[in-house]
């Protein structure tokens, strides 16, 4: 079995350099593949009521102090700044605090909810050099990072929507047996017992409604909320978490996030983090290893190879196959746009 890096070399997709450890240099074929994967998810998000945003990559340390990441995640963050303020800025490791700042730009009514935002956020995490592994473990990667702001009464429908999208998106890539797990409250956790119990029941109920026999991971939730994990297995049998939807009881309090309910009183919205691919780079790496380079026809950046010395008829046939594959890709995008 070839690794994703060996397949990438064979298909001329990407490579890494010692001058940028844990980061990817995309070749034309690889960048086309990356953009097609990205566009596939963009269309799914838009069709399901999400609005695309874009937020800065480099933001002041004070934002990450407010969010709590400085206390919990600083060793995995990159710091920098100008000549006078050497480490007053952070390369964002995730987009959550920035999306909350977007929400807080206006006064929101219950009529505005659910509000769904998504971003292909370029993030940086200071992974140890020994753990780096091509696309599967990188220091710079792109998340299909989405956040839903909603009322408690809307939360179950949002979770069901996530699971429905997971069936569709994963199925488009040939993954039909999804590994779904629910991670519950750890020993040290923020939020009330009532919040945790309510959220965990909603996650379980949504899995049952959508036909998933989810396995429980007791105590494996984050300190700020329980979650559903959707995982894939690579060619070496390693399990990688990709998709997730997760409650957050921490950030609404830290950023004083509010909306006006039906009585005109202010209360905290439910905030749910979610991603379908997780990291586009990791998703691509797993896909290469599982498929061994035999990618879906609609996605393959190199659908045919033309050998030297072929006759005119063979060359023409190859060009027709290439054009047909590219047209199929276009037709698939149009079908996605037309779907309800």
Six-digit token pair at 47?
Answer: 């069709």
Active-site residue flag, 168: no
Q: Is the dihedral of CA 191, 192, 193, 195 positive or negative?
A: negative
Of the candidates 99, 140, 143, 165, the residue annotated as catalytic is 143
Q: 258, exposed or middle or buried, with CB in 10 Å at 0-12, 13-18, 19+?
A: middle
193: three-class secondary structure by DSSP? helix
Active-site residue flag, 258: no
Give alpha helix (H) positions in the chain. 4-11, 28-47, 61-67, 69-72, 96-103, 152-172, 193-209, 251-254, 280-291, 312-338
Active-site residue flag, 145: yes
Q: How far apart are CA 134 and CA 11, in angstroms?
A: 15
Of the candidates 4, 42, 99, 125, the residue annotated as catalytic is 125
Q: Do the beta carbons of residue 276 and residue 145 sit within 8 Å? A: no
Return the number of other C-beta atoms located less than 10 Å from residue 314's C-beta: 12
Q: How far apart are CA 28 and CA 34, in angstroms?
A: 10
Active-site residue flag, 165: no
Q: How far apart are CA 91 and CA 74, in angstroms?
A: 11
Active-site residue flag, 110: no
Of the candidates 92, 116, 144, 145, the residue annotated as catalytic is 145
315: three-class secondary structure by DSSP? helix
Q: How far apart are CA 61 and CA 79, in angstroms?
A: 8
Of the candidates 40, 147, 165, 329, the residue annotated as catalytic is 147
Q: Do the beta carbons of residue 289 and residue 4 sit within 8 Å? A: yes
Of the candidates 40, 42, 69, 96, the residue annotated as catalytic is 96
Active-site residue flag, 46: no
Of the candidates 4, 5, 181, 227, the residue annotated as catalytic is 227
Of the candidates 116, 165, 273, 282, the residue annotated as catalytic is 273
Active-site residue flag, 292: no
Report how far apart, in Å, the C-alpha atoms of 36 and of each of 53, 320, 328 are. 19, 21, 13
Q: Provide the Cα torsion 329, 333, 338, 339; round to 10°.
A: 90
Active site residues: 96, 125, 143, 145, 147, 227, 273
């Amino acid at each position: 079995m070839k690794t994703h890096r060996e397949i990438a070399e064979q298909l001329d997709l990407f490579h890494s350099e010692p001058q940028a450890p844990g980061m990817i240099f995309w070749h034309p074929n690889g960048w086309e593949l990356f953009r097609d994967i990205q566009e596939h998810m963009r269309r799914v998000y838009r069709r399901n009521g999400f609005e695309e945003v874009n937020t800065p990559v480099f933001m002041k340390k004070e934002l990450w102090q407010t969010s709590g990441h400085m206390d919990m995640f600083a060793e995995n963050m990159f710091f920098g700044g100008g000549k006078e303020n050497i480490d007053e800025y952070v390369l964002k490791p995730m987009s959550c605090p920035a999306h909350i700042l977007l929400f807080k730009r206006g006064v929101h009514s219950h009529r505005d909810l659910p509000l769904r935002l998504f971003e292909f956020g370029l993030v940086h995490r200071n992974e140890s050099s020994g753990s780096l592994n091509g696309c599967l473990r990188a220091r710079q990667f792109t998340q299909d990072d989405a956040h839903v702001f909603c009322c408690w009464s809307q939360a179950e429908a949002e979770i069901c929507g996530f699971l429905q999208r997971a069936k569709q998106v994963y199925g488009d890539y040939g993954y039909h047996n999804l590994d779904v797990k629910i991670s519950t409250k750890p020993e040290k956790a923020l939020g009330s017992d009532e919040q945790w119990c309510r959220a965990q029941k909603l996650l379980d109920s949504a899995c049952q409604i959508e036909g998933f026999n989810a396995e429980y991971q007791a105590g494996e939730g984050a300190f700020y909320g329980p979650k559903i994990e959707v995982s894939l297995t690579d060619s070496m049998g390693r399990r990688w978490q990709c998709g997730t939807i997760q409650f957050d009881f921490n950030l609404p309090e830290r950023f004083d996030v509010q909306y006006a309910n039906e009585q005109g009183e202010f209360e905290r919205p439910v905030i749910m983090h979610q991603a379908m691919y997780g990291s586009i780079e990791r998703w691509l790496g797993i896909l290469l290893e599982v498929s061994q380079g035999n990618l879906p026809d609609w996605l393959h950046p190199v659908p045919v190879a033309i050998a030297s010395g072929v006759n005119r008829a063979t060359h023409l046939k190859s060009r027709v196959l290439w054009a047909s594959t590219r047209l199929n890709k276009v037709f698939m995008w149009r079908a996605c746009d037309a779907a309800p």
